[in-house]
Structure 1
């Protein structure tokens, strides 16, 4: 395979810088390094093709190299037009991985890259948001027959998979990596919490302390965003549709109110719901002059850009990744990163130590699907608990942390109904 001639990347001369970035994250991903050692010995993907669609930056690149080390022929594309890093793409091509991705492609190019990735006829898939799976189950069903199964990274992607499963249309097993304990407890909470504010702070260069932050959605990602906003000194308001999560946010010390009321108070807005039209025309109408809008859900539909454009007399880019909209009454609101994922489109995504655990789960889940696909059935399944615990144990060992173990007597006590 000549990956240089077969790939679509912006500029191969950028590869050196990409290699430096990948080398850096490798040094901070001990769990994935351990999985790589195992894969190199066991070759779980020998002779197989793996297609990956993820945010194409250094940590993802190292996951692709780990899968490659397990014997796979790997093809990778981006899962978001603004999160792809061109130097990373070039470095992967030099490392023998086929790449179809560029930073900020137009919609037609982005779709073309996804389709070209699938046209390699993969046996296994790692997806982020469900784009590859959706194309396979709709317009390119001719590419389905060879797929054994795969793994999905995000809440949004799992919702799409479960909709397919419910309708009886899912054609192969998919592991819901997002629902593993080591994913949502750490990646969604601590990873999203830190990386969202990394993206906002480096983009705006404005203080957070003393400001009011409105967080839409109090799932694990929303909890992380709210927690870090509080740590930065902000007053935090949470909006929710789930009464249980709303009570949780209240008991965690945050104000809770509907978005229409919160819109009057917010200096910063972060949507983290996975749904559309979370902030729209009725909310723009009551916002403060200078409000800053951002999204940390998967797609750029949480902030309604159609409404925002319709209500504006003008717009302009005032700083990299900041678009200013002047409303008809003269108020200005600012949208970060085109309403796309602010932590990746305007930052580098989650810290390497966090993605170490998540991508270790992706790697071992893919190996599990490959071993068991004939027995699993066409369904969405959870990461086996023993794999979740294994990744956590590897993480503890990398941190030189020991924990207690139950004695035989303690195990017997817990399994007995008498004292």
Structure 2
């Protein structure tokens, strides 16, 4: 098969380089790592397959991996999140890119086939579709997605594919859940670093990054005023926390949390939010945002209880949290109101508005997380790839070593001009001793 890149339009590359320049200006930690990678070439001779959202921030990571000596193959982790100008710019620079905005399901899995045809040594994943596909091939699963993979890659030898893999990374909560399920089933076939479990990833990316970019997507798609409205957030993990905090900051009249975990629900209450089941929240909400990582957090039954004019958005990785298929089935009318905003008329005459087909609202209707927060996430990704390259890992799901996490935080603070306090020798002795007390 052809190893040539496939993007929407190479003539967009000039605009893509401008976007990459702006991202690099705001990602100083990753740029510091790139300087070291250029000197040391820790990824020399290795092929890295990255299944990530093809954004300007991802482009900065890809350039950093290439600076470290890697041959990089980039494919999208979502059919609607690719920034075509960035894909074009990277393809012109020698990165193998197979991505364009608006891919069909077939084209999406064709892209995975393209990446696997390079027999990568390291995989970087966001949602675990690439990793799961490798496992399907290894275990001989032949579903429609695998048929699409083989259309581009040809039949792949699962044993040979796995034998060449040193390890992989996973960027999101949804993906880590899938990978732990693989491990618990005794089916995981190569080591994975759960980058999502690094403090400098989930505390900042999920809370501050998604908190801001989700509302950016909602407001670009609708241009509605948040102040005075009732906002319902499904899920009070780190993503849900960020969305709820920003809703309150934007002046929402009520911020209601829907949660199944009693500890998280209690935390939401103590943080000053209302907590109730979706059945009740559906009757009072104006804007609904899902962040659970689970299917049908907003079901068809919930939708029928909603006010005329309710807005639905999803901030979880996959488009399964809102029952879009059910909505499509029962709606008596559907029309596009604005880019990425569809109006559905229900049999009861009420209308609901769905943003971005129920896919990741911040990447479909906006540009994803701000570069400053992706600086932390992708610094973790780059250092995780280096860690895999330098260490022979047993098959397991790992957390990135804490010292790497702290180094990323230290570098970020340094670039922000923030100084840390230092322990005195007396303080070091005190916290390392069991004899000293009151």
Q: What's the TM-score, normalizing by structure 2?
A: 0.93
Residue 249 (structure 1) aligns with: 268
Could you tell me how far apart the structure 2 residues matched to 1:42 and 1:315 are?
56
Q: Offset of 1:311 from its aligned partner? A: 2.3
Select which of 188, 194, 202 maps to 1:184.
202
Aligned to 1:214, the other structure's residue is in SS state strand
Select which of 312, 319, 324 maps to 2:343.
324
Measured against aligned partners, the alpha-carbon deviations of 1:396-417 in whole angstroms (never above 9, x if no partner) come to 1101111111122211111212
| Structure 2: segments with no counterpart, 5+ residues | 138-155
Q: Offset of 1:57 from its aligned partner? A: 0.8
Select which of 363, 384, 387 maps to 2:401.
384
Select which of 421, 430, 433 maps to 1:404.
421
Select which of 207, 213, 216 maps to 2:225.
207
Between 1:157-166 and 1:292-301, the stretch displaced more is 157-166
2:380 corresponds to 1:361:
yes
| Structure 1: segments with no counterpart, 5+ residues | none
Could you tell me how far apart the structure 1 residues matched to 2:303 and 2:65 are?
45
Q: Offset of 1:193 from its aligned partner? A: 0.2
Q: Offset of 1:418 from its aligned partner? A: 2.0
Aligned to 2:352, the other structure's residue is in SS state strand
Counterparts in 2 of 1:196-235, with a 5 A limit? 196-234=214-252, 235=254
Measured against aligned partners, the alpha-carbon deviations of 1:230-265 in whole angstroms (never above 9, x if no partner) come to 000002000000000000000111100000100001
Aligned to 2:30, the other structure's residue is in SS state helix
Could you tell me how far apart the structure 2 residues matched to 1:305 and 1:25 are?
34
Aligned to 1:175, the other structure's residue is in SS state strand
Could you tell me how far apart the structure 1 residues matched to 2:132 and 2:163 are?
15
Residue 32 (structure 1) aligns with: 30
Could you tell me how far apart the structure 2 residues matched to 1:43 and 1:312 are?
56
Residue 180 (structure 2) aligns with: 162
Aligned to 1:236, the other structure's residue is in SS state strand
Aligned to 1:138, the other structure's residue is in SS state helix
Between 1:96-105 and 1:141-150, the stretch displaced more is 141-150
Could you tell me how far apart the structure 2 residues matched to 1:338 and 1:400 are?
41
2:89 corresponds to 1:91:
yes
Could you tell me how far apart the structure 1 residues matched to 2:395 and 2:95 are?
29
Residue 275 (structure 1) aligns with: 294
Select which of 91, 100, 103 maps to 2:101.
103
Select which of 345, 351, 364 maps to 1:345.
364
Could you tell me how far apart the structure 1 residues matched to 2:216 and 2:334 are?
25
Residue 393 (structure 1) aligns with: 410
Q: What's the TM-score, normalizing by structure 1?
A: 0.97
Q: Offset of 1:185 from its aligned partner? A: 0.9
Could you tell me how far apart the structure 2 residues matched to 1:270 and 1:285 are?
16
Measured against aligned partners, the alpha-carbon deviations of 1:316-350 in whole angstroms (never above 9, x if no partner) come to 11110001100001100000000000000111000
Could you tell me how far apart the structure 1 residues matched to 2:330 and 2:236 are?
29
**Count of residues in Structure 1 that have an aligned counterpart in Structure 2:** 414
Residue 171 (structure 2) aligns with: 153
Segments of 4+ moved more than 4 angstroms? none
Could you tell me how far apart the structure 2 residues matched to 1:21 and 1:209 are?
32
